[in-house]
Structure 1
């Protein structure tokens, strides 16, 4: 009644159905995890937007000015004097000789461990 080829074909059909069912279940599981991650991402984006809104409210200059006036006795804040900053003309200029640069380049190419001896205006020795 049943031939061997019929039995083989039935076994192949059953195994194909089992494989399809297993693949479908795995795909649904992956889809559920993707949806959960998307939900977490939306929650985090909403949290970030809320924190940015809070930050913009907290750092409004009018609010900060009012708080600095209220807590002036405790904080003892002082206004910044515009003369506290140095002007470009006040920075000492050191003439740099081209021979210094060439000599340092030759030292580096030759494998010497010479340090850069160029001094800026901020360095005092």
Structure 2
């Protein structure tokens, strides 16, 4: 009887050792993957830093001015007027802010029902700023085409 019990204990210990080895091996694989991912993250951060430095060099005002002067005949660039820029209050209304037209149903006679829409003009979205703020004459401001944005 003692020999059978010893064999069972040896089997249980062998199984426990195998499970322990498997768990240890998986943990080591996961640790290697973590180190690999950390190295990739460091490489990406270094690449981002390098690209930021390159952008800073490429967008230096002195360099851009030299390029503009060198290629001015081909590009025919002109300075942007400060009045050409749009402020947020001058943008058209959002689509959600446009009023919805009123639609009503009317029944006509005993032969059947028809659907009619009440004819109400839908207000045109207007820029949030006035034309006088942008240095425009009121007639020019009325001619500005506005639309809804989503």
Instruction: Mark yes or no: TM-score above 0.5.
Output: yes
Secondary structure at the aligned position of 1:44 is classed as helix
Q: Secondary structure of 1:3's partner? A: helix
Quick check: 1:118 aligned with 2:140? no
User: Which residue number corresponds to residue 37 of structure 1?
Assistant: 37
Change beyond 3 A, Cα 1:27–1:82: closer
Count, aligned residues: 105
- Report the RMSD for the aligned CA atoms in angstroms: 3.2
Unaligned regions of 5+ residues in structure 1, if any? Answer: 92-100
Q: What's the counterpart of residue 51 of structure 1?
A: 51
> In the aligned structure 2, how far is the partner of 1:41 from the partner of 1:51?
15
Partner of 2:15: 15
Bigger share in helix? 1
Which 4+ residue blocks in structure 1 deviate beyond 6 angstroms? none
Residues 1:86 and 1:52: Cα distance change in structure 2 (over 3 Å)? closer
Higher-RCO chain (CA-CA 8 Å, sequence separation at least 6): 2
* 1:73-98 residue CA offsets vs partner (Å, 9 max, x unmatched): 111112223454689xxx8xxxxxxx
Q: What is the TM-score when the length of structure 2 is the normalising length?
A: 0.58
Structure 1 partner of 2:69: 69
TM-score, normalized by length of structure 1? 0.68
Higher strand share: 2
